[in-house]
Structure 1
């Protein structure tokens, strides 16, 4: 039996998680779009070094996770050693970098929509590589998502939106987004393998390990190559403090958002987290459309609704599977 008031407390915690994830990532999306399209200073310069955002976020999240481990860790051993994350760190460095770079070539709503189609490469890999057979409703979901993204990509973007992009190139932008999804798939698979081998690994351990290697790889990429752009990015921030402040807030939003995601998964499960993050993406597109002054056309909104109908149906199918599993366990 649930204690009196426990249900209300659980509902309040869930509302707190929803508010935290939505506010952190929606504002981060606004900052990301600002940094990729805005012209800073009297000379009207763009911040061209978007990959620097990944390095900055890795550093902030690394420090954040270390503090959380020191504050909240029970001191138990058995977690995955820090060096086990080196391979996942590679794909987790390259993938998000491609996703952010895509904003030079396509609009933020287009990027969010493209990255929402993660289920497509997952199902393709499952069918072609592992011979997994999916149900008819699951294929309906993938058709809605793939169809919506494809139609959105083929529609003509307004000249006002194109003028804000650094280097308009839709095929390249969408290509980078889908490569981002492919690398994310490898990252998730590697993380699952680590969790299986080291079941006592906490969310903070994962956050620390991933961001440690991400920091190392991004430092090498941004400052180690002969034509490294990290120094130019730092110089740009010195000349334009407004951009530096936006980058700091962008990273802080990422760290706070990860905290709420971990809290949601630990208290309510991954399905609840998927539902919250999926609806957040839809709201991000709405907010971007309103704040950027570039509203989507009726046809574009129909594509957005098509994609999120497919994603919502997928969430519903997962919920039904979870209900069946719970009934079997109780029987």
Structure 2
């Protein structure tokens, strides 16, 4: 899709996309931490069945993508068949579940930083499996991100955060985050393969196929037998409507955020989207620290700045590479 209009129109559209992505995902991040750490009702119970968040998110995004295809899609071309997403949906279902489960053991800022280090497993797998050679600036980016995440993980967590976490276990929490990244890598590679085989596939088709299979998998896991955890999660929501409301808003934020990301990619490209989402993570950490009463120490803030310096440097390298490609095309 090509964005039309003058320079002012494009600036306003970009500002609209930034506001949409930031507001949706920052709100979702705050709600994610709230649902995983808050004690609901007079009995002070925590919502332990965090996999239910993934199920609710899949259902909402499935309905949303179906409606978008019916309302907005003007193309009659057929994309990838629905069954082609079954394998990518397995890792796409397990990965986010591990990320959410990690919040039982580490703080939300720690989870955000750990998940920001996506380039680390990508470079490790690329070097060991495919023999890819990376440049020195790319290694510098990885060093900054890995060093920042490691320093944050080893720094002292505030007592307020420790009191909110029932069973703090930092190694397990960060381990779950890195497994999440590994599964995300497989998911992205499979989606790229599907797009290559079926070029007419739209973003809504992918969203529909992935969430359809994800819903099937989690429904079987959470409701496949009489005493499965899904029934307990539903009962908890019935007894604690505040938790049910937080979960619903969490899911709607995810669906709205995905829409703004697709709009940004289609109008301005993936590099702009990466820049917006990267800065959004930093803002999420700041907002989480201010609103949830989990103050970060000076060492932790230094770690945060170290990570985002690496990510910003990575964005700059991508931008410079894109500029070189465009110059070659003009000169050809």
User: Hey, what's the Cα distance between the residues in 2 that align with 1:201 and 1:236?
Assistant: 39
Q: Does 2:142 correspond to 1:142?
A: yes
Q: Give the corresponding residue for 1:114.
A: 114
Aligned partner of 1:180 in structure 2 is 180
Under a length normalisation based on structure 1, what TM-score does the superposition of the two structures give? 0.98
Structure 1 residue 236 displacement after superposition: 0.2
- 2:123 & 2:195 partners in 1: Cα distance? 22
CA separation of 1:263 and 1:5: change in aligned 2, threshold 3 A: closer
- How far the C-alpha of 1:310 sits from its partner, in A, is 0.1
Task: Tell me, yes or no, if the aligned pair for 1:36 and 1:166 is still in contact at 8 Å.
Answer: no
- Partners of 1:158 and 1:27 in 2: how far apart? 22
Measured against aligned partners, the alpha-carbon deviations of 1:249-298 in whole angstroms (never above 9, x if no partner) come to: 00000000000000001001111110000000000000000011121011
Instruction: Note the C-alpha offset of 1:167.
Output: 1.6
| CA deviation map 1:148-205 (0-9, x unaligned) | 0001101121222111013210000000000000000000000000000001100000
Structure 2 contact 160–293 (Cα < 8 Å) conserved = no
Q: Measure, in 2, the Cα distance between the counterparts of 1:111 and 1:5.
A: 40
Shift of 1:77: 2.0
**Are 1:240 and 2:245 counterparts?**
no
1:280 counterpart residue number: 280
Find the counterpart in structure 2 of residue 60 from structure 1: 60
In the other structure, the counterpart of 2:255 is: 255
**Equivalent in the alignment of 1:82:** 82
- Aligned residue number for residue 266 of structure 1: 266
Q: What is the CA distance between 1:73 and its match in structure 2?
A: 1.1
TM-fit CA distance, 1:117: 0.3
Aligned length: 329
Q: In structure 1, the residue corresponding to 2:246 is in which secondary structure?
A: helix
Runs (5+) with no aligned partner, structure 1? none
User: CA-to-partner distance for each residue in 1:104-160, whole Å, 9 max, x for gaps?
Assistant: 000000000000000000011111111111110000000000000001101121222
Question: How many Å separate the matches in 2 of 1:81 and 1:6?
Answer: 38
Q: CA deviation at 1:5?
A: 5.9
| 226-235 vs 204-213, greater mean Cα deviation | 226-235
Aligned match of 2:300: 300
CA distance in 1, matches of 2:125, 2:106: 26
Cα deviation, 1:16-47, whole Å, max 9, x if unaligned, reads 00000000000000100100110000000000
Query: 4+ runs of 1 displaced by more than 3 Å?
Result: none
**CA pair 75-35 structure 1, distance change in 2 beyond 3 A:** same
- Which residue does 1:228 correspond to in 2? 228
Q: Does 1:102 align with 2:102?
A: yes
Q: What is the deviation of 1:226?
A: 6.0
SS at match of 2:130: coil
285-294 vs 217-226, which deviates more? 217-226
User: Quick one: distance in 2 between partners of 1:91 and 1:317?
Assistant: 29
1:211 aligns with 211
Specify the SS of the correspondent of 1:76.
Answer: coil
**Corresponding residue for residue 162 of structure 1:** 162
Separation in 2 of the partners of 1:188 and 1:310?
22
**Whole-angstrom distance in 2 between the partners of 1:21 and 1:182:** 24
- Partner in structure 2 of residue 21 of structure 1: 21
CA distance in 2, matches of 1:117, 1:5: 37
Q: Tell me, in whole angstroms, the C-alpha distance in 2 between the residues paired with 1:19 and 1:236.
A: 33
